[in-house]
Amino acid sequence: MDISCAILIIGFAALFAAFLLLIIGLVYSELMNSEVPRGVANGGKLQIVHGLFVGIAVLGRILERLGICHQVGFTRWFRARLLTRLRPVPPGLRVKDLLFSDVPVRLYEPTTSCGGLRRGLVYFHGGGWIMGSLDSADEVCRYIAKEAGTTVVSVGYRLAPEHRYPAQLDDCEAATCHFLSVAEAEFGVDPCRVAVGGDSSGGNLAAALCQRLAQSRSGHLPSPCAQVLIYPALQMADFNLPSYQQNHAVPILFRGRVAFYFLQYLNGDTSLCQDVLSGVHVPTELRPCYEGWLSPSNLPPGCLARGFGGPPAAKYDAELYHMIKDGLDPEVSPLLAEEAVIQKTPPTFLLTCEYDVLRDDGVLYRKRLLDAGVDVTWRHVSDGFHGLISFVNQGWLTFPTATRALDGVVDFVKSL
């Protein structure tokens, strides 16, 4: 080997080492800004998972700046391989990929005899409207279908930033209405016992869809018999609720990322994150109404136990409001719907996690539903974190708490 080749090899090795050090440094910096409270179940494992996710995001950001690929696409690809374990279909379950009104869906049918029409669940995956897929929700849907003896339809709605609001909600509506129209004839499912549900942004879509259908039903299809909301994101008006303050840096979902995801869903202008987080996008005339619905005084005392500093002073920015005003529409923020719409909401299952920025969205929605006379089943996971159920049957990434949380969903679905 001549000296020029040796120098070239050493140069590449030094460049690669510098690249690794850069990634390690950025990941370490991000990890130092996170906080895993002692009360979180399997906190050490959560920190490892968070480190993996941060590493994926950092590497994607670097590759995007080098012009190699887009960060979102890379993150989707890597997360799918980290958290998606498509195993052989277990006995007692039949799984098929179909199209419902041109929307990709995955159907999970129990093969055991039930002596009549089955119940059904149309499920919308989470991922901040920009991540997630039929594959990422596969294990959760298998678990519900098998354990609850229920036909589950998982919906592969379009994602941001390629597609903006209301594309995702429109896809969920199209797939749900299609299933309701053929449930009995093609799948042996009672259309009057079909619920809709989802986790995180999927819970947002489920809640928004129930409200949309309640107002637009023409009478030829039954409405969903229930909604299953798993740590849902329900409003874009106040990012300073106690849960946002207490859990602002708890993995897997940081406070700032919630605003980021909402903005990607709406218009893609993530430069507005800090202004939205401060609350200056809320018009003065709407504040009294929103404060009545979002007041911390509406929360149980336990939600305030870890402290609450009160909201910051926010001066209304009319220009900002007009840029993101759809975010305050009930189809994006179901918690902000008028009383007459809330009253039409079907019986609801709500799952919240203590160490989740979205905890108070769910708890406050529960109060609005109860005040409107809607039946609510609430399951609170005292040691849970956002994204928990994604870690069911994931090998070394499995969290036992995830199975217990999902069993609460199964119990509710079995009661329909």
pLDDT band of 50, cuts 50, 70, 90: confident
pLDDT band of 402, cuts 50, 70, 90: very high
Q: 81 CB contacts (<8 Å, ≥6 apart)?
A: none
Phi, psi torsion values for 250, nearest 5 degrees: -85, 125
CB-based burial, 126-143: b 16+ in 10 Å, e otherwise: bbbbbbbbbbbbbbbbbb
> Could you tell me the residue ranges of all domains in the chain?
10-32+41-83, 94-235+327-414
Is the per-residue pLDDT at 5 higher than 70?
no
Between 256 and 23, where is the model more confident? 256
Residue-level pLDDT at 414: 96
Percentage of residues of the chain with pLDDT beyond 90: 70
| Omega before 91 within 30 of 0, i.e. cis | no
CB–CB of 61/54 below 8 Å?
Answer: no
For 79-107, what is the mean pLDDT?
85
Is the per-residue pLDDT at 381 higher than 60?
yes
Is the per-residue pLDDT at 220 higher than 90?
no
Which residue, 296, 315, 314, is CA-closest to 305?
Answer: 296
Q: Which of 19-28, 83-92, 162-171 has the lowest mean pLDDT?
A: 19-28
Task: Specify which residues 348 forms β-bridges with.
Answer: 227, 376
Which residue, 337, 341, 326, 334, is CA-closest to 358?
Answer: 334
pLDDT band of 47, cuts 50, 70, 90: confident
First to last CA, the chain: 74
CA distances from 173 to 165, 178, 210, 381 (A): 13, 8, 9, 30
Which residue, 356, 127, 105, is CA-closest to 251?
Answer: 356
Which residue, 257, 324, 334, is CA-closest to 294?
Answer: 334
Q: Is 356 a catalytic residue?
A: yes
Phi, psi torsion values for 122, nearest 5 degrees: -95, 120
**Pick the catalytic residue: 133, 200, 278, 390?**
200
Hunting for tokens 């130092």 — which residue is that?
A: 32
The architecture (CATH level 2) of 94-235+327-414 comes to: 3-Layer(aba) Sandwich (3.40)
Is the per-residue pLDDT at 27 higher than 60?
no
CB–CB of 169/139 below 8 Å?
Answer: no
Q: Give the number of other Cβ atoms within 10 Å of residue 338's Cβ.
A: 10
CB–CB of 79/159 below 8 Å?
Answer: no
Phi, psi torsion values for 337, nearest 5 degrees: -70, 155
For 392-409, what is the mean pLDDT?
92
**Pick the catalytic residue: 356, 360, 361, 383?**
356
pLDDT band of 310, cuts 50, 70, 90: confident
Tell me the whole-structure pTM to 2 decimals. Answer: 0.92
Phi, psi torsion values for 272, nearest 5 degrees: -90, 0
Strand 348-355's sheet: what is its strand order? 93-100, 103-110, 151-155, 118-124, 189-199, 227-230, 348-355, 376-385
**For residue 314, what are its two tokens?**
């926010």
Collapsing DSSP to helix, strand or coil, 147 comes out as: helix
Q: Give the number of other Cβ atoms within 10 Å of residue 9's Cβ.
A: 11
Residue-level pLDDT at 171: 98
CB-count burial class (<10 Å; 0-12, 13-18, 19+) for 267: middle
Q: How far apart are CA 396 and CA 381, in angstroms?
A: 21
Q: How far apart are CA 67 and CA 289, in angstroms?
A: 47
Residue-level pLDDT at 86: 62
Residue-level pLDDT at 309: 85
pLDDT band of 34, cuts 50, 70, 90: confident
pLDDT band of 356, cuts 50, 70, 90: very high
Q: Which of 254-263, 269-278, 284-293, 307-316 has the lowest mean pLDDT?
A: 307-316
Q: What is the pLDDT of residues 332-354, one digit of tens each?
A: 999 999 999 999 999 999 999 99
**For residue 258, what are its two tokens?**
């919630």
For 266-272, what is the mean pLDDT?
91
**For residue 182, what are its two tokens?**
């053929």
- Secondary structure (DSSP) of 396-411: GG--HHHHHHHHHHHH
Residue-level pLDDT at 61: 76
Q: Which of 2-6, 123-127, 247-251, 371-375 has the lowest mean pLDDT?
A: 2-6
Q: How far apart are CA 390 and CA 397, in angstroms?
A: 10
Is the per-residue pLDDT at 41 higher than 60?
yes
Q: Which of 16-25, 303-312, 342-351 has the lowest mean pLDDT?
A: 16-25
Is the per-residue pLDDT at 11 higher than 70?
no
Region of residue 387 (left: phi > 0; alpha: psi -120 to 50; beta: else): left
Is the per-residue pLDDT at 219 higher than 80?
no
Task: Specify which residues 153 forms β-bridges with.
Answer: 107, 122
Q: Is 135 a catalytic residue?
A: no
**Pick the catalytic residue: 125, 383, 386, 390?**
386
Is the per-residue pLDDT at 26 higher than 60?
no
